[in-house]
Amino acid sequence: MSPIRAWVTDTKAVETAEGWLHLAVILDLFSRMVVGWAMAATEDAELTELALRMAYARRHPGSDLLLHSDRGTEFTAERYQATLREVGIELISMSRTGNCWDNAAMESFFATLAKECTNRVRWKTRQEARSAIFEFLECFYNPVRLHSTLEYMSPLAFEQAAQSKMS
């Protein structure tokens, strides 16, 4: 698989004393790089649209990109679907109803996030959780965290090595 060929996406709720903080993430299957994310107090199409727009701005995928999600209303909403059309993402896959195994790479990512960042932490505010998750995603997960599926390289190092091979 080459870069920017398949992305997976989903949402996760993180508990805070103020209420839930919802996180939408888009993961590149080639490198396990988090290419887009967004956080908000509500889980809706606006949240997933923001993550999609970040991923698109960072990667500018071609028309051959496959984007996989579950069938949640935040992904089936007209607003989100219109954004997909707007940015030219036409190859869309959705999990079978109630089947989390169809999105196993994303579920694995969220298990890592929980184990390494959000479990056993009770944030007072959404902002505290937002800051911790931002630091995990951008300062640790993408540039530092090693993955067995990536020959024990970080997503960033794996992409850089792949780019060197292609040059």
Q: Are 11 and 103 in contact (CB under 8 A)?
A: no
Residue 163 contacts by C-beta under 8 Å, 6 or more apart in sequence? Answer: none
User: What is the full DSSP assignment across 30-53?
Assistant: TT--EEEEEEESS-SHHHHHHHHH
AA identity, residue 166: M
CB atoms within 10 A of CB 155: 23
Each residue's pLDDT tens digit, 22-36: 999 999 999 999 999
Q: Is the pLDDT of residue 144 over 90?
A: yes
Q: How confident is the model at residue 103 (pLDDT cuts 50, 70, 90)?
A: confident
Q: Where are the domains of the chain?
A: 6-96+117-127
Each residue's pLDDT tens digit, 86-101: 999 988 888 766 655 6
Tell me the CATH architecture of domain 6-96+117-127.
Answer: 2-Layer Sandwich (3.30)
Each residue's pLDDT tens digit, 123-133: 999 999 999 99
pLDDT > 70: percent of the chain: 94
